Structure 1
Amino acid sequence: MQKIIHKAENRGHVDFGWLKSAHSFSFGQYHDPKKINFGALRVLNDDFVEAGNGFGRHPHDNMEIVSIPLEGVLEHQDSMGTSKAIETGDVQIMSAGTGVQHSEFNGSKENPVKFLQIWIVPNERQLTPSYDQKSYLALDRKNKFATIVSPKKEDTDAVLIQQDAYFNLADLEEHKTINYQLHGEGKGVYVFLLEGEINIAGETLKRRDAIGVYEIDEIAIEATQDAKILLIEVPMF
């Protein structure tokens, strides 16, 4: 087993007034040569955007971009003609492929929006851009993982990603333990603790801490407090 620890307080932090963001990996003005990526996981930004503000239209290419609102509503528009509200309980993916432009704004004039934006390196370059969005609110996440992003079309509850990667959410009750089985060799898991406290791989994680673990087949997670967990499985290349 190999592991890396990313404590919440050691993330890169930026504050532009209307935008407050914590970066788990090097991004924009924040650069740490030890935090470039975890396998195919390239970016995990924990964003807070004030009411009525957002990111104007800007380009992306050759990246799988996943957005998960934690509180509030995001308004998304892109050059593919997509215009969508992404609400808390939704997961959105934009496969940028050969190139796409998009904008993201807080959908409220009164309340902030809090969301995760996560970038995954695709398994192939210059793909045709695409968009997918689904609600995961009906999925059972009590003391079990629910897959919300998957490379398999048969996983109809999940949005489709152009990489052998899986995003999973779980609401784990105090003193409960769950196990996660990886999908084959050469994979790793990045566990980002949204809320609560857990024990994993001999480490204790608190709110917004993260751990990357690889060279394993399975991982056990125990909640020492009620916990909300995001687990991302990616190829380690």
Structure 2
Amino acid sequence: MTNIQLESFISPIIISLKVAFTASIVVFLFSIPIAFIMARKKFPGKAILETVFMLPLVLPPTVVGFLLLIILGRNSWVGQAIEWIFRQPVVFTWWAAVVAAVVVSFPLVYQTLKSGFSSVENEIENAARNSGASEWQVIRYITIPLSLKFFISAYILGFARGLGEFGATIMIAGNIPNKTQTIATAIFLATETGDMTLVWLWVLSIVVISFMMLWFVNRSNYEYKNE
């Protein structure tokens, strides 16, 4: 493998890992309070709001990417505000790939965290409150520890979903080598050009990474059930 081929092979992997890592942290932290509120509170319009949250899971990724392009493009006030603040547009940058990964992975992360919060029995939390614990102490010492396996699963699923994102990414971030080209978009381009060696190397790379993350989730769940 020549130096040029080596760089061509490694660059999308590094960009993909950088995008997935950044997006997974953002969506994880963003989803925690939302999932907690949705799991514990009742309010008018809750079903409609939850439907909106889950839409990216069922919409075609290209539709999600198109909507993001409209929202964050230079013709929208959001896109213009971002360009004014950061002195450059967000579209066709690796940050656009992060935004795409956050949006498409949010339903998985949100639903997993919500299941975790819902799994904690109210009797246990109420017992802690009756013993004089504050609400923050209940969350810190009761709710989070008892739903920890869901936290781990949510983060890893968000990372894996962001790592494999294609449709929304190519719409809003493009497929620019050494800049926004992720493994998924690189595989698409290499397939179109007939470079099957690189295709197989990238396919094997993302399969191994995804397998290891999902194996860790399943192993953690298995050990938790058998404690």
Shorter chain as denominator, the TM-score bin is under 0.3
**Which has a greater percent of helix?**
2
Which structure: larger Rg? 2
TM-score (norm 2): 0.24
**Which has a greater percent of strand?**
1
